[in-house]
């Protein structure tokens, strides 16, 4: 099962197609039954204003998306000013008038009229009779109306705000004959307090349902709600704890005599989930209780194998088969991490095939009590045909969806159907359910297609087996393989660190690699279970390289430049591509150096190697397409050409925080442009640079065209002072960049040479009250504390809207408590030590000086250069005047309605590297995009991890000179542009003109 989810899609589908195939005679029966079910579904869509409203405003319309986006955020917005902005944003641009009078429902048409009124109030029309008519009511009128509509929508999708309310609602006539599976939650736990609260909610719900066991209801549980660190890297901690909590809930369910089902999670958690479920299923105290169950997602390639696993547990297991809930995020994760293949099917029809094959297995299984969750008429009809006269299974549908499909089956034919019923506050659950709808390919769902009047019955009920067989089971053409994600250049390969065995093997391989020594002094550290001893983290000594060795290096590079510059551009580009391949072939060695020398965690070390390879491949492509000679226009008898050529010898000066990626990125760009390079790494990380240069030479770069010099500031000064240096690429601090810029201007006879500088920043994230707190907290932790805050892009200043500040801060406090500091070679570690004693002393002195303003800090190992992640409150953005390069986050607030002013205050600091915004208001995003003076703006995501070619990186102002690394303009800065104009008339003119003469001269 472990490797099945990375297998090729056609190979996985081949046996599924045979298992899901209908015989000719059964196909006719199934189609007849499906047509009848389809008629019931369509009839139900004409009943009730809610169904008609959702049909009118489908997800393939801008109005439907606007309404769902409004529903996702509106109920969590506490302040009226932001609520009005959100309403204006979502209602103001939509064409509600196009829907006026279209529905058969008076209520739907009334709702449309209300939306038209809302648009008149909040849209761009500032004049007109309608505006004047209702101007006295103003925004509060619209706000109240929208609030009422959102609460009504909440009632559609949420069964009840409490378990008692939900159970009471299940007794209403529309739910006659149905039972419920109550799901108590929306979001996953972010803090220990969240997990404890959710556990208690589940426990109380079990007891509440147990008070009426004859009703037949059950409870659904999310494991991610019970543990805030439900991650493979935290397996040794979270799996035992989750097993214990689930066993307690299962024991209480057994005592109450009600079923309990464990919901499905993302594919990266599947094996952990199976370990937990399997352990609980085997508990002796649960023997004799037949109510334990689990959900299986048919879109996963391992779904059928999981069905077999459940059957082999040797005890009755309720298995709920669903199509799947995280399709978009699973696809994106696989692409971003450069994994070998997708863990799920890329075509909707392939998921349907998998579903049918799994369903057939479940019906034939000895120990499985099947539950089929589907709104698809063909799927339901097929299962009914395969089941024959049996009633030993149940169907399931979502509350608020699929109405009409099962009523006749339940109340007239004796089949059992359970409603999956979310329970909780509308503020949280409606947002969660809407995101699931927006994020997970809802446009391809049967319910969505049903509302499309353009689709015929034959199209709606097309056999998925025939669809997939027609394309040979191949991957969807619009979803490239991760390696092909960027089209023009090969995406770097990743390691699936969400696979426990792969993570353990990777950690073991990294640990086994010896770290080179220099000068008899070990580079890096030795780790113990207690942490890292300060004495094991060396402070850089003065470099053994003197000015003479620097001159010698420049001599060598100067002599090599003509030959390397004359090397064909295609050859230079091919060498970079070979270097990228070598980086990946030597990935473990390089990761080991990054972990042991730069104290990077295993995921960060992997990212380091991948980014270096991406730089090489991307710059190779850019060189081929952007540095080739260009023929320019001109008059007849003249040839004009622009050539991009190397400038000479470049000095590349790299930092320790990206000792491979930035070191090689700068160097590879200079090389492929035709320059020779003298490369200087940071004094803290010379060994990974040596390895990189060795591989570059192995790839074909002449040894004298790329010369490594190591040492401290004196070596850098000697490099930049030499007048033969034709350009400098530097990444580091702003003061050092200024010193380099000044040095390059010294000497009357020295040529003017380019400086490419990437420096730091006081990077701010602005959060308004429409933002999702759980997402904000996850992104803040990543942006501020990953890599021990030692990234130039790291979050330094968090600006929270006043109305939500304390809630977000409280969640951040809880999430920070779960951070694990320790040996970066340990897969469990989130944060390692800072780079050296000097950095440690500087950060700790500043942190101690601000002790009175601490909001939260966390304990660290007793020994080692660990700076505790710390959150510090400041009164104003202006109070933070410099960059603190470590895990220190400053927090201030801003007032609603002052977004533009807040951006201006951040701009006024003079830095311009990164900025973040969390908001559901598109116009706020547009405002920040227009006003922010930063190189990289990140909206509704973390602020670190720029991707080569996709998110070119670099700042402005005090944060750098540009051009942006990993972008389409970077290579040109390394070139000398040379134009050549040739008068061809002196050699006989333009002979091609003669071919245009028709009659002769």
pLDDT tens string 224-261 = 999 999 999 999 999 999 999 999 999 999 999 999 99
Report the range of poorest mean pLDDT among 96-110, 375-389, 494-508, 626-640.
96-110
Residue 137's pLDDT band (boundaries 50, 70, 90)? very low
**Catalytically active residues, by annotation:** 758, 792
Position with higher pLDDT, 149 vs 848: 848
429 vs 535: CA distance, rounded Å: 52
Report the range of poorest mean pLDDT among 75-79, 174-178, 442-446, 607-611.
442-446
Q: And the tokens for 150?
A: 């959102």
Q: How many secondary structure helices (H) and strands (E) does the chain include?
A: 35, 29
70 vs 77: CA distance, rounded Å: 11
* Phi then psi dihedrals of residue 88, to 5 deg: -60, -40
Does the pLDDT at position 159 exceed 90? Answer: yes
257: CB partners within 8 A, 6+ apart? 210, 213, 291
pLDDT for 82 equals: 94
Report the range of poorest mean pLDDT among 84-93, 348-357, 435-444.
435-444
Does the pLDDT at position 448 exceed 80? Answer: no
Cα dist from 882 to 189, 598, 731, 735, whole Å: 34, 24, 17, 12
DSSP class per residue in 445-465: SHHHHHT-TTS-HHHHT--HH
330 vs 297: CA distance, rounded Å: 12
pLDDT in tens, 956-978: 999 999 999 999 999 999 999 99
Does the pLDDT at position 898 exceed 50? Answer: yes
111 vs 802: CA distance, rounded Å: 33
pLDDT for 6 equals: 93
CA within 13 Å, CB half, 628: 9
Report the range of poorest mean pLDDT among 34-48, 111-125, 148-162, 409-423.
111-125
772 vs 432: CA distance, rounded Å: 10
pLDDT in tens, 478-514: 999 999 999 999 999 999 999 999 999 999 999 998 8
77 vs 62: CA distance, rounded Å: 22
Check: CB of residue 644 under 8 Å from CB of residue 673. yes
Does the pLDDT at position 436 exceed 90? Answer: no
Residue 369, beta-bridge partner list: 318
Determine the average pLDDT of the residues in 188-216.
Answer: 95
Kindly report the average pLDDT of the chain as a whole number: 89
Q: Residue 430: which of 709, 697, 626, 146 has the closest Cα?
A: 146
Lookup result for tokens 């006295």: 136
Does the pLDDT at position 319 exceed 80? Answer: yes
Does the pLDDT at position 117 exceed 80? Answer: no
Determine the average pLDDT of the residues in 371-394.
Answer: 96
Does the pLDDT at position 698 exceed 90? Answer: yes
Q: What is the dihedral of CA 68, 72, 77, 83, to 10 degrees?
A: -20
Lookup result for tokens 């003017």: 752
pLDDT for 184 equals: 86
CA within 13 Å, CB half, 23: 4
Q: And the tokens for 549?
A: 């060795």
Backbone dihedral region for residue 581 (phi beyond 0: left; psi -120 to 50: alpha; all else: beta): alpha
Determine the average pLDDT of the residues in 880-893.
Answer: 97
Does the pLDDT at position 140 exceed 90? Answer: no
Q: And the tokens for 362?
A: 């479940």
pLDDT for 533 equals: 34
263: CB partners within 8 A, 6+ apart? 183, 220, 221, 222, 223, 295
583: CB partners within 8 A, 6+ apart? 590, 609, 612, 613, 616, 664, 692, 695
pLDDT for 136 equals: 42
Q: Residue 686: which of 655, 721, 642 has the closest Cα?
A: 655
573 vs 935: CA distance, rounded Å: 27
Does the pLDDT at position 165 exceed 50? Answer: yes
Check: CB of residue 680 under 8 Å from CB of residue 732. no
Angle at 170 between CA 167 and CA 172, to 5 degrees: 130
pLDDT for 998 equals: 54
- CA quadruple 141, 143, 146, 150: dihedral sign: negative
Check: CB of residue 976 under 8 Å from CB of residue 991. no
- CA quadruple 834, 837, 839, 841: dihedral sign: positive
Distance of CA 302 to the CA centre of its chain: 23
819: CB partners within 8 A, 6+ apart? 781, 785, 830, 831, 858, 869
965 vs 273: CA distance, rounded Å: 41
Backbone dihedral region for residue 473 (phi beyond 0: left; psi -120 to 50: alpha; all else: beta): left
111: CB partners within 8 A, 6+ apart? 49, 53, 149
Q: And the tokens for 871?
A: 């959150």
pLDDT for 101 equals: 57
pLDDT for 534 equals: 33
Beta strands 517-518 and 521-522 are antiparallel
Determine the average pLDDT of the residues in 152-161.
Answer: 84
pLDDT for 824 equals: 97
Does the pLDDT at position 579 exceed 90? Answer: yes
Residue 473's pLDDT band (boundaries 50, 70, 90)? very high
Determine the average pLDDT of the residues in 121-132.
Answer: 47
Q: Would you give the DSSP letter of residue 160?
A: B
Does the pLDDT at position 920 exceed 70? Answer: yes
988: CB partners within 8 A, 6+ apart? none
366 vs 941: CA distance, rounded Å: 46
Determine the average pLDDT of the residues in 23-47.
Answer: 88
- CA quadruple 716, 592, 763, 329: dihedral sign: positive
CA within 13 Å, CB half, 58: 17
Does the pLDDT at position 542 exceed 80? Answer: no
Residue 104's pLDDT band (boundaries 50, 70, 90)? low
Across 202-313, the runs of DSSP E, i.e. the strands, are 218-221, 260-262, 292-297
Task: Provide the 10 A C-beta neighbour count for residue 767.
Answer: 25
Task: Provide the 10 A C-beta neighbour count for residue 744.
Answer: 21
pLDDT in tens, 723-740: 999 999 999 999 999 999
pTM assigned to the model: 0.93
Position with higher pLDDT, 141 vs 906: 906
Does the pLDDT at position 526 exceed 80? Answer: no
Does the pLDDT at position 133 exceed 50? Answer: no
Q: Would you give the DSSP letter of residue 831?
A: B
- CA quadruple 304, 306, 307, 312: dihedral sign: positive
668: CB partners within 8 A, 6+ apart? 576, 579, 615, 616, 619, 696
844 vs 850: CA distance, rounded Å: 10
551 vs 532: CA distance, rounded Å: 38
Residue 103's pLDDT band (boundaries 50, 70, 90)? low
Task: Provide the 10 A C-beta neighbour count for residue 237.
Answer: 15
Top mean-pLDDT range of 56-60, 96-100, 704-708:
704-708
Residue 441's pLDDT band (boundaries 50, 70, 90)? very low
pLDDT for 808 equals: 98
């Amino acid at each position: 099962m472990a490797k099945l989810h990375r297998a090729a899609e056609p190979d996985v589908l081949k046996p599924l197609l045979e298992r899901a195939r209908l015989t000719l005679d059964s196909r006719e029966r199934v189609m007849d039954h499906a047509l009848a079910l389809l008629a019931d579904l369509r009839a139900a869509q004409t009943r009730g204003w809610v169904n008609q409203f959702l049909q009118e405003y489908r997800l393939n319309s801008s109005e439907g998306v606007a309404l769902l986006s409004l529903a996702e955020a509106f109920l969590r917005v506490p302040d009226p000013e932001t609520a009005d902005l959100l309403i204006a944003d979502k209602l103001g641009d939509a064409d509600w008038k196009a829907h006026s009078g279209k529905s058969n429902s008076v209520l739907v048409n009334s709702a449309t009229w209300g939306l038209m009124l809302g648009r008149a109030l909040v849209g761009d029309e500032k004049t007109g009779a309608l505006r004047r008519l209702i101007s006295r009511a103003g925004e509060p009128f619209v706000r109240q109306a929208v609030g009422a509509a959102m609460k009504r929508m909440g009632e559609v999708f949420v069964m009840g705000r409490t378990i008692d309310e939900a159970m009471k609602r299940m007794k209403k006539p529309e739910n006659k004959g149905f039972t419920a599976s109550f799901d108590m939650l929306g979001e996953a736990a972010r803090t220990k307090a969240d997990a404890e609260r959710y556990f208690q909610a589940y426990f109380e719900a079990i007891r509440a349902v147990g008070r009426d066991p004859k009703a037949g209801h059950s409870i659904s549980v999310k494991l991610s709600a019970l543990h805030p660190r439900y991650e493979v890297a935290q397996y040794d901690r979270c799996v035992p704890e989750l097993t214990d909590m689930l066993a307690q809930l299962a024991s209480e369910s057994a005592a109450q005599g009600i079923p309990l089902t464990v919901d499905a999670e993302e594919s990266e958690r599947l094996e952990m989930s199976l370990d937990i479920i399997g352990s609980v299923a085997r508990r002796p105290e649960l023997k004799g209780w037949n109510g334990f169950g689990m959900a299986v997602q048919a879109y996963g390639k391992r779904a059928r194998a999981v069905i077999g696993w459940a059957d082999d547990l040797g005890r009755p297991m309720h298995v709920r088969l669903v199509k799947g809930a995280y399709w978009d995020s699973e696809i994106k994760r696989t692409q971003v991490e450069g994994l070998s293949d997708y863990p799920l099917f890329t075509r909707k029809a392939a998921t349907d095939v998998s579903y049918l094959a799994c369903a057939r297995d479940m019906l034939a299984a000895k120990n499985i009590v099947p539950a089929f969750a589907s709104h698809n008429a063909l799927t339901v009809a097929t299962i009914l045909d395969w089941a024959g006269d049996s009633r030993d299974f149940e169907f399931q549908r979502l509350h608020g969806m699929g109405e009409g499909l099962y009523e006749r089956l339940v109340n007239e034919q004796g089949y059992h159907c359970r409603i999956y019923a979310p329970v909780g506050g509308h503020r949280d659950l409606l947002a969660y359910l809407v995101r699931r709808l927006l994020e997970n390919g809802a446009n391809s769902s049967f319910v969505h297609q049903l509302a499309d009047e353009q689709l015929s019955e034959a199209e709606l009920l097309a056999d998925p087996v025939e669809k997939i067989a027609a394309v040979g089971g191949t991957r969807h053409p619009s979803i490239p393989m991760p390696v092909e994600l960027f089209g023009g250049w090969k995406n770097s390969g990743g390691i699936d660190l969400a696979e426990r065995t792969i993570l353990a093997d990777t950690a073991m391989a990294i640990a086994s690699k010896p770290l080179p020594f220099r000068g008899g002094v070990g580079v890096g550290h030795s780790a113990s279970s207690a942490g890292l001893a300060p004495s094991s983290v060396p402070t850089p000594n003065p470099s053994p390289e003197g000015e003479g060795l620097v001159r010698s290096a420049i001599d060598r590079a100067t002599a090599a430049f003509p030959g390397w510059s004359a090397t064909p551009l295609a050859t230079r580009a091919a060498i970079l591509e070979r270097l990228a391949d070598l980086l990946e072939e030597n990935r473990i060695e390089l990761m080991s150096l990054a972990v042991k020398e730069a104290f990077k965690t295993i995921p960060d070390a992997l990212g380091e190697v991948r980014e270096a390879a991406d730089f090489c491949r991307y710059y190779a492509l850019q060189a081929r397409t952007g540095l080739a000679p260009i023929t320019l226009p001109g008059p007849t008898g003249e040839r004009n050409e622009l050539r991009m050529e190397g400038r000479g010898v470049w000095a590349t000066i790299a930092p320790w925080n990206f000792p491979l990626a930035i070191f090689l990125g700068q160097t590879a760009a200079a090389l492929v442009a035709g320059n020779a390079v003298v490369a200087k790494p940071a004094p803290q990380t010379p060994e990974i640079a040596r390895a990189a240069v060795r591989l570059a030479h192995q790839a074909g770069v002449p040894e004298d065209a790329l010369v490594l010099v190591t040492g401290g500031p004196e070596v850098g000064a000697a490099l930049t002072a030499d007048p033969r240096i034709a350009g400098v690429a530097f990444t580091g601090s702003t003061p050092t960049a200024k010193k380099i810029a000044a040095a390059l201007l010294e000497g009357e006879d020295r040529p003017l040479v380019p400086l490419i500088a990437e420096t730091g920043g006081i990077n701010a994230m602005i959060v308004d009250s429409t933002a999702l707190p759980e997402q904000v907290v996850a992104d803040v932790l990543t942006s501020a504390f990953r890599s021990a805050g030692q990234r130039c892009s790291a979050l330094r200043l968090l600006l929270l809207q006043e109305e939500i500040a304390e809630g977000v801060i409280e969640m951040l406090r809880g999430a920070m408590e779960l951070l694990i500091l320790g040996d970066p070679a340990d897969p469990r570690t989130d944060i390692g030590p800072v780079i050296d004693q000097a950095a440690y002393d500087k950060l700790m002195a500043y942190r101690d000086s601000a002790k009175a303003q601490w909001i939260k800090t966390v304990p660290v190992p007793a020994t080692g250069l660990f700076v505790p992640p710390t959150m510090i409150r400041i009164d104003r953005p202006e109070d933070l005047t410099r960059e603190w390069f470590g895990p220190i986050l400053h927090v201030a607030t801003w007032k609603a309605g002052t977004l533009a002013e807040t951006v201006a205050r951040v701009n006024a600091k003079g830095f311009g590297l990164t900025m973040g915004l969390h908001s559901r208001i598109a116009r706020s995003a547009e405002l920040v995009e227009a006003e922010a003076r930063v190189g990289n703006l990140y909206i509704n995501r973390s602020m670190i991890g720029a991707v080569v070619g996709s998110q070119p990186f670099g700042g402005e102002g005090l944060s750098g000179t540009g051009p942006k690394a990993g972008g389409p303009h970077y290579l040109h800065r390394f070139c000398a542009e040379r134009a050549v104009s040739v008068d061809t008339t002196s050699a006989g003119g333009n002979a091609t003109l003669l071919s245009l003469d028709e009659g002769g001269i």
